[in-house]
């Protein structure tokens, strides 16, 4: 009969216990021994929960002290040269130094984990001498077995995916690097086999992207080596996030099981299984429960899918599991007390997904009648949401359909707009600005909490926000910034803030998910038709502008980012959701302009992460994503300057789409990737205004003037000085007061040096 499993469980805890422990340790409030004990207890509680729920194959080594890719790199002693690592087990101070930076060394690059909002630390292979520092999967297996009696399933990031997600080597060195890594993987697996491990999950998510013939050859060599070295070990080659490429080659590999995503990769994977069958000597890991979404599964539909699969693969060769790690969803719905009943009834977070997997497995083992009550309840819950008035607003649907029928465009092209904007604003060479937010101190957070609890009146809270704006407007002027912002002190999160003011959104109390490191976000839920209700940002922006003669930017989050950083409904397309958001945000842009705000920034940091993994789907996504942005911004006057911002993604393959957004100025990250994006502009022209982030705001270090000057000089070799802006690479909400001020002073000084250097050469 079928067994149940998941591919990973959220690290953070139902009340973010993991995050709190990390930040207490970093702040010196926990010593290392206490820190290890707290994380151990969190880890064991997660394992107990899965065991109590009835999961058969429980993953171990999916827990991390920061990031699982960083764990893999440090397990193999792959540490960037600038950290002066001398071998051996990587100490916590160095581990966190790689992730967060130190006083003397910049952090490693951080980028999106495929098309999710999780960020991983990019391994740097240049100069590394790989060697096993510790067998982390073995340690995790032993802990689960010895303390809880769990026969765990160790999870390891596979060698091909690890290498493809790394940097610091030439393509011609791929095979030589595999030759260096393969013996280390073999040793890890041999030690697991010797310990008596039954199943090992080796994640190769890279296999759902375009795989070359050379990579197929490499894949066969890798898994031939594993089969030869540890023939007794059951290896589950696990893929997720989409359907696999080269299905026939992959299912022919000498492994015991193949894990396929039958949610986000349903069409491609099901088609492949139907057409080519599935090997009789392998187990199918059927990822039928969505590891990324928050909606209850239709158990009837899942049972129909499983029935088809068991017509191809016998039940005793089937593992019913999540489509990917549950890392990407909140922990439990049970703690949510304020959601509408019809919404809460239709939700399933990590713990509820465990229940769904167990129910489906029970139905396979004991028949559908064994879960008859649950089948009726699930369908009733899903129908209640479908019939909700929030999902059936004809006025919004008709307005959006009419507006989206036309392709939006500004009145004048950029070359002409730039001239009238230059005459209006009279900005100096290389204008300086920030991305939008300033540090949210404990005082700011406390004030918001008191207001939310009703202990502060609206008037008192508004006065407090104005006082914060006063402080930072004055500071920005003293520092010497050219274009100011109001600081966003009234905002908890750049998506949540807008969602709270738009119809069609709902918010959880404990629906946190990990974004990067200890940074957790609480994505809104878009469950109904999105609608503008009243101005959202005008009051604070207008107040800030009244306090200075310098321009103040209005600050909005764009439609694609709001969509990609929310949990969205599944009954309409993402394109339709994007257009609803764009229509609502357009009304806010128009309200800002009417209030006298002539620079408006519409941030789209999440455009790249929504890019489909399949090349054949990418052009269509980019087309409607660009259209949604232009729907938001195209109705303003020619003199109104539209800014946007993007960060922490690979943008080199979508420069044309970024330009097609037709923003007057884009600010974009380059510091964390050590200026690599600049190379894209060395190969491609970009003729709109652009600000390349000159320092990393996610690292708690004050960058030197010389570092920023070097970044500026390189950028100006390929970008038009007349269109070049200087800014940090992201918002400053999470940084401290002193480091923010010192960093911005250094940035302005680097700008002064650049102006002196280039003023004579720029006409």
Question: d(Cα 676, Cα 174) in Å, to the nearest integer?
Answer: 20
Note whether 72 and 637 are within 8 A (CB).
no
| Strand, helix or coil for residue 284 | strand
Tell me the HSE value of 48 on the side-chain side, using a 13 A CA sphere.
9
Which of 36, 679, 698, 758 is labelled catalytic? 698
Question: Is-contact 441 495, C-beta < 8 A?
Answer: no
Tens digits of residue pLDDT in 444-480: 999 999 999 999 999 999 999 999 999 999 999 999 9
Distance CA 155, CA 236 (A): 9
Rounded CA separation 534/289 (Å): 38
Report d(CA 366, CA 6) in Å as an integer.
21
Beta-bridge partners for 153: 59
Domain ranges in the chain are 414-439+480-758
Name the strand (E) or helix (H) holding 185. Answer: helix 174-195
Separation of alpha carbons 203 and 323, rounded Å: 12
What does the DSSP 8-state code read for residue 167? B
Instruction: Report the binding-site residues for 5-methyltetrahydropteroyltri-L-glutamate.
Output: 16-19, 112, 117, 519-520, 565, 609
List of the chain residues with pLDDT < 50: 674, 763
**Cα gap 662→642, rounded to integer Å:** 9
The enclosing H or E element of 665 equals: strand 665-669
Residue pair 513/329 in contact (Cβ under 8 Å)? The answer is yes
Q: What's the pTM? A: 0.90
Q: Which residues are annotated as a binding site?
A: 16-19, 112, 117, 435-437, 488, 519-520, 565, 603, 609, 645, 647, 669, 730
The answer to whether 531 and 502 have CB atoms below 8 angstroms apart is: yes
Distance CA 589, CA 602 (A): 9
Supply the pLDDT for residue 337.
94
For the CA atoms of the chain, what is the radius of gyration? 26
pLDDT at 195 (0 to 100): 98
Span 182-194, pLDDT tens digits: 999 999 999 999 9
- Name the residue among 534, 541, 625 with its Cα closest to residue 587: 534
Q: Are 758 and 429 in contact (CB under 8 A)?
A: yes
**For residue 715, what pLDDT is reported?**
85
| Whether 628 contacts 669, CB under 8 Å | no
Q: Residues forming the annotated binding site for L-methionine?
A: 435-437, 488, 603
pLDDT at position 755 is 95
In the 8-state DSSP scheme, what is residue 552? B
Using DSSP, state whether 744 is helix, strand or coil: helix
Q: In the chain, helix, strand, coil percent, each to 5?
A: 50, 15, 40
pLDDT for the residue 647: 72
Given a contact cutoff of 8 angstroms between Cβ atoms, the answer to whether 391 and 529 are in contact is yes
For residue 651, the model assigns a pLDDT of 63
List residues forming the annotated binding site for L-homocysteine: 435-437, 488, 603
Residues making up the annotated binding site for Zn(2+) are 645, 647, 669, 730
Angle formed by the axes of helices 574-594 and 538-546, nearest 10°: 30
**Is 46 a catalytic site residue?**
no
The CA distance from 91 to 93, in Å, is 5
Phi and psi angles of residue 435, each rounded to the nearest 5 degrees, phi first: -80, -25
Which residue carries 């992959």 as its tokens?
250
Residue 761: its pLDDT value, please?
Answer: 58
CB distance 699 to 107 below 8 Å: yes
Ramachandran assignment for 241, one of left (phi > 0), alpha (psi -120 to 50 degrees), beta (any other): left
d(CA 94, CA 79): 9
Q: Is 171 exposed, middle or buried (0-12, 13-18, 19+ CB in 10 A)?
A: exposed
Q: What pLDDT shows up at residue 156?
A: 98
pLDDT attached to residue 652: 66
Q: Are 353 and 291 in contact (CB under 8 A)?
A: yes
User: Is 3.20.20.210 the CATH classification of the domain at 414-439+480-758?
Assistant: yes
Tokens standing for 677? 């994006």
């Amino acid at each position: 009969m079928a067994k149940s499993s998941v591919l990973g469980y959220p690290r953070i805890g139902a009340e973010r216990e993991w995050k709190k422990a990390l930040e207490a340790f970093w702040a010196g409030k926990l010593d290392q021994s206490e820190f290890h004990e707290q994380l151990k207890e969190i880890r064991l509680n997660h394992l107990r929960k899965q065991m109590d729920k009835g999961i058969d194959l429980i993953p171990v080594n999916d827990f991390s002290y920061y990031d699982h890719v960083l764990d893999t790199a440090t397990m193999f002693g792959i540490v960037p040269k600038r950290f002066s690592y001398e071998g051996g087990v990587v100490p916590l101070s160095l581990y966190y130094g790689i992730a967060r930076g130190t006083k003397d060394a910049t952090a490693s690059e951080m980028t999106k984990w495929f098309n999710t909002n999780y960020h991983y630390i990019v391994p740097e292979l240049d100069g590394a001498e790989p060697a096993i520092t510790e067998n982390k999967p073995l340690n995790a297996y032993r802990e689960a077995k010895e303390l809880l009696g769990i026969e765990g399933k160790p999870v390891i990031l596979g060698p091909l995916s690890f290498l493809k997600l790394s940097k610091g080597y030439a393509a011609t060195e791929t095979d030589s690097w595999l030759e260096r890594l393969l013996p280390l993987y073999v040793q890890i697996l041999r030690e697991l086999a010797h310990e008596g491990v039954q199943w090992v999950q080796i994640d190769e998510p890279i296999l759902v992207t375009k795989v070359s013939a050379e990579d197929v050859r490499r894949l066969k060599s890798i898994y031939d080596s594993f089969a030869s070295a540890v023939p007794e070990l059951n290896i589950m080659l696990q893929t997720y996030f989409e359907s696999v490429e080269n299905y026939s080659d992959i299912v022919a590999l000498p492994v015991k099981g193949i894990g396929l995503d039958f949610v986000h990769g349903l069409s491609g994977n099901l088609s492949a299984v139907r057409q080519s069958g599935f090997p009789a000597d392998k187990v199918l890991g059927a990822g039928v429960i969505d590891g990324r979404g928050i909606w209850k599964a239709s158990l009837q539909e899942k049972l129909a899918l499983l029935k088809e699969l068991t017509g191809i693969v016998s039940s005793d060769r089937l593992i019913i599991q999540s489509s990917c790690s549950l890392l990407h969803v909140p922990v439990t719905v049970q703690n949510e007390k304020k959601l509408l009943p019809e919404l809460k009834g239709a939700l399933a977070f990590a713990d509820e997904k465990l229940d769904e997997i167990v129910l489906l497995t029970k139905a396979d083992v004991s028949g559908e009648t064994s879960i008859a009550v649950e089948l009726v309840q699930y369908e009733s819950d899903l129908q209640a949401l479908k019939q909700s008035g929030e999902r059936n607003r004809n006025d919004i649907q008709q307005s959006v359909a009419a507006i989206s029928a036309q392709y939006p465009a500004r009145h004048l092209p950029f070359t002409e707009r730039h001239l009238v904007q230059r005459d209006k604003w009279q900005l100096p060479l290389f204008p300086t600005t920030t991305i939008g937010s300033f540090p949210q101190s404990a005082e700011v957070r406390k004030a918001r909490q008191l207001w939310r609890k009703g202990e502060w009146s609206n008037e008192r809270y508004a006065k407090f926000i104005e006082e914060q704006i006063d402080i930072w407007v004055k500071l920005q002027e003293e520092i010497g910034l050219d274009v100011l912002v109001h600081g966003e002190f009234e905002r908890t999160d750049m998506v949540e803030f807008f969602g709270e003011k738009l119809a069609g959104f709902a918010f959880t109390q404990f629906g946190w998910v990990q974004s990067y490191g200890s940074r957790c976000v609480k994505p809104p839920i878009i469950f109904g038709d999105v609608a503008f209700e009243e101005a959202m940002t005008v009051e604070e922006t207008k107040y800030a502008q009244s306090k200075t003669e310098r321009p103040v930017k209005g600050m909005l989050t764009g439609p694609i980012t709001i969509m990609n950083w929310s949990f969205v409904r599944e009954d309409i397309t993402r394109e339709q959701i994007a257009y609803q958001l764009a229509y609502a945000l357009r009304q806010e842009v128009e309200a800002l302009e009417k209030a006298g705000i002539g620079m408006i920034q519409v941030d789209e940091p999440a455009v790249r992460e929504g890019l489909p993994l399949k090349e054949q789907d990418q052009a269509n996504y980019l087309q409607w994503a660009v259209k949604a942005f232009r729907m938001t911004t195209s109705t303003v006057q020619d003199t109104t300057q539209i800014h946007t911002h993007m960060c922490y993604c690979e943008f080199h393959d979508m420069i044309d789409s970024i330009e097609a957004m037709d923003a007057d100025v884009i600010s974009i990250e380059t510091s964390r990737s050590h200026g690599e994006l600049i190379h894209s502009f060395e190969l491609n022209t970009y003729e709109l205004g652009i600000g390349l982030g000159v320092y990393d705001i996610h690292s708690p270090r004050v960058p030197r003037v010389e570092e920023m000057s070097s970044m500026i000089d390189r950028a100006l070799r390929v970008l038009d000085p007349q269109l070049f802006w200087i800014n940090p690479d992201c918002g400053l909400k999470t940084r401290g007061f002193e480091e923010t001020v010192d960093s911005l002073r250094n940035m302005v000084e680097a700008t002064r040096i650049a102006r002196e250097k280039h003023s004579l050469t720029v006409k």
